[in-house]
A and B are shown apart, each in its own frame.
Chain A
């Protein structure tokens, strides 16, 4: 995993960069979002913000509307009411054509990877570049091998998605989302169904993107280990060195600035706050206690 040629980092000092405070528009804001399917209210009045550079971990039982929320944030479906803002721009009233330009800034990693199975790994990852047009084949191949290197899968370039394991598919899917360096990445249960070790490599990718690239993200998961890893660990070595990243153990206060939690329950936001607050709330709230245990 080499990061050498991966895009230049934001100017600020990598180790000490807190998520930006509210002086600038948040990367993502959802305001009073409600949506129902066939009379069944899936999300009801959901509001939260994701600051620039922050990772928002969304926890919730299955069928609590996590995937629906991801689709709403990326504008793939429209809410019944409420608003979504991306870098301060309201996207809810936009037409599909107008949304296309907003989506350039958003990478989505779908629950089941959703790789195009008629295209090779190379073509999957290069998809956005092909769509944009104006890139030479050599440039495309270079950029693809760069991001595939980033997710540790350089050698799979010419395989088809059906040749890959579940964990590799997820990583290719992350690479596909990354190719144009979006400022926001939405992960829908990126570690679901993977063994802990493979899951760990994916969580490390998420950390890398947050800590070294300053990507704002929403991480939907129901694996608590992943959620707490994201909250408590961070990359401090911008060069990423060799294969194993040097994760500087528990430097909680700082990581906390970069990670916060939302717990969804019965369609609403049941909890919104830092890891510390979540652990504190656990003592009072039986639901969270049950959920976290």
Chain B
């Protein structure tokens, strides 16, 4: 009985320590913004890796999500005889919810894992130690550029996903559901409020910070050789995805209470 208690207590303690270390990592990554040196070159490279590199999957995800949304909402709306409102439903769901979350999940799968494995393999091959020995703070050189890059690129990617998604919805509405172009675009345009856009752009900022900090943190805490790198990579994707979905629920709730 005591053993079991010890195990549970030990596990709980580990979680607390983990959360604490992650928090320190986040604080440090942000604090580096205010203390030099700043690595602009590295930041631009990361923006390219994250932004340009994710463009294709973001477009595909957006397009098919919009298309599916149009088909599904038309089916539900049919029973109310309101198929004409498909554009509104597609636009609002995409901008408020699916655009930010799906883009973030895609980028998490692609880049949180990339960051964890890149930094993780630098840890296990002593490159991080070498970096420190050569006078560089790895947190400034590696974490902060990735944070800045993700936080700036994810909102852009999300906006692109939203737009492509609405376009995908339009293709379905126009050619499968035979809704007129004018009707589709006017329902889209007239039903998107500033609050929708605000929520839709606030989320990717926060999700971007989650992706970069979780990816880098998992990379830095890698131990145990190549196997450890694999473990960190998986953990980064899982942790980032779960955090994104959880935080999404929290933000949605807050927005619904305060921004209505």
> What is the interface of chain A, defined by CB distance below 8 A to chain B?
71, 74, 76, 96-97, 100, 103-104, 106-108, 110-112, 114-118, 127-128, 131, 133, 176
Contacts and interface: CB of A to CB of B under 8 A. Distances in A.
Contacts of B129: 71, 76, 110, 114
B134 A103 contact: yes
Contacts of A112: 125-126
16 contacts: A76-B132, A96-B137, A100-B137, A103-B132, A104-B135, A110-B126, A114-B125, A114-B126, A114-B130, A115-B130, A118-B118, A128-B134, A128-B135, A131-B37, A131-B134, A133-B37
A32 B153 CA distance: 51
Contact of A114 (B37, B127, B135): B127
Contacts of A110: 126, 129-130, 133
Contact of A127 (B122, B134, B137): B134
Given A112-B125, A117-B127, A76 B135 contact: no
A216 B28 CA distance: 35
Given A76-B133, A114-B129, 6 more contacts: A76-B132, A108-B130, A110-B129, A128-B134, A128-B135, A131-B136
> Which residue, A76, A97, A114, A131, has most C-beta atoms of chain B within 10 A?
A114
Interface of B: 37, 118, 122, 125-127, 129-137
Q: Identify the 3 closest CB pairs spanning chains A and B, nearest first.
A: A114-B130, A114-B126, A108-B133
A112 B226 CA distance: 14
B6 to A, nearest CB: 17
Contacts of A118: 118
B127 to A, nearest CB: 5
A133 B134 CA distance: 13
Nearest to A101: B135
Contacts of A127: 134, 136
A74 B126 contact: no
Contacts, number: 50
Contacts of B135: 100, 103-104, 128, 131
B126 A116 contact: no
A74 B134 contact: no
Contacts of A115: 127, 130
A170 to B, nearest CB: 13
B134 A176 contact: yes
A107 B135 CA distance: 10
> Which residue, B37, B126, B133, has most C-beta atoms of chain A within 10 A?
B133
A133 B137 CA distance: 15
Contacts of B126: 110-112, 114
A127 B127 CA distance: 12
B162 to A, nearest CB: 33
A96 B136 CA distance: 10
Contacts of B118: 118
Nearest to B124: A112
A24 to B, nearest CB: 25
A293 B179 CA distance: 90
A254 B208 CA distance: 62
A126 to B, nearest CB: 11
Contacts of A76: 129, 132-133
A113 to B, nearest CB: 8
B157 to A, nearest CB: 24
Contacts of B132: 76, 96, 103
A103 B134 CA distance: 7
B119 to A, nearest CB: 11
A120 to B, nearest CB: 14
A160 to B, nearest CB: 14
A135 to B, nearest CB: 14
Contacts of B137: 96-97, 100
A128 B135 CA distance: 8
